[in-house]
Amino acid sequence: MISKAIESLRKGGMVLLYDSDCREGETDIVMPAHATTPKRVATMRKDAGGLICIAIHPMAAQRLGLPFMSDLLRHASGFEISEVVEKPGDISYDISSSFSLWVNHRKTFTGITDIDRALTIKEISKAVQHSLNGETVDFGKEFRSPGHVPLLRAADNLLSERKGQTELSIALAGLANITPATVLCEMLDENTGKALSKKDAKLYAKNNGLVFLEGVEIVEAYGRFLENPSSIF
């Protein structure tokens, strides 16, 4: 399935990505940020129902000056927030969260509409690519915070450090050789109030002609890629 997923992302399509039974046990709709449209935001909003986020490569985050939200809060002054900031052990399935800033593009109105979120996401993707090309990006000139699009900063060492949907999707973007900025949205089940089961996520993928991919497939393929970049597709 990894080759089909890579082909889909290269064409700007959506895939379903399940992290693992030992982690969140959740399936996310994943797609390239540069291919985002208002209609696709609506699809994620209605068919998935989770939080629509954009994951970005750690090098781009560093060059754009985007912190982890936990670090930002930890160093904030003038607020009694010490007990609120994430601590080791707070998340049972992980060591830390990947959340960074929440932003709107400055050309948006409220920022929450499908049109506004699609614009913000596409412009973030452009900023990521420009930063990785070595160009100077004035992030504050283009975006404002707080906003309605959560940024997820992938771990510095990607899958060797963390195997969340953020890192898995960025590694997948790397395998596909596209801009390493991906849109993620968790698939939820309105009947159970929980995450959509793997079985139902696979059924959704089948009914909608989408690839269903397990995180371990990306981990294995990315490992092969690091050992021999010419060996991957």
For residue 165, CA distances in Å to 122, 183, 228 come to 19, 10, 24
| 0.85 surpassed by pTM | yes
Position 83 scores a pLDDT of 67
Q: What is the pLDDT of residues 133-147, one digit of tens each?
A: 999 999 999 999 999
CA angle 14, 18, 20 (to 5 degrees): 160
| Amino acid 82: pLDDT | 62
Output the pLDDT for position 29: 98
Of residues 155, 191, 204, the one with CA closest to residue 29: 204
User: Where do the domains of the chain lie?
Assistant: 2-231
CATH 3.90.870.10 assigned to 2-231: yes
Q: Which residues are catalytic?
A: 28, 53, 93, 104, 148, 186
